[in-house]
Amino acid sequence: MVDEFIEPRIAMLTNGTLTGFHEWQVRSKTIVFDNIASRESHYRKSGTMNGVPYEGEGQKFIQLYRLNGSWLISSILWEDD
């Protein structure tokens, strides 16, 4: 399932379909409780897709846990508006 998501995006970014792509965070909130954390991130993005200017925005929700002093990602969810 991960490969099904990643493969078309790699193709877009390497075959010229999507060029000049940039994504940046506009606001975020992080909650940490002992060895678990949650980050809510709102972002914007822009680039050129098939020769046409492209813009968008969305949210990402990242769940993490701390193991042996390192933070590890347990899940990522995001949705474009």
Q: Which residue has the tokens 């899940």?
A: 75
For the segment 3-50, what is each residue's pLDDT rounded down to a tens digit? 888 999 899 989 999 999 999 999 999 999 999 999 999 999 999 999
Torsion angle in degrees (nearest 10) through CA of 61, 66, 69, 73: -40
Query: How does pLDDT run across 50-71, given as a tens digit for each residue?
Result: 999 999 999 999 999 999 999 9
Determine the topology of domain 2-80 in CATH: Nuclear Transport Factor 2; Chain: A, (3.10.450)
CB 20 within 8 A of CB 48: yes
pTM (whole model) above 0.85: no
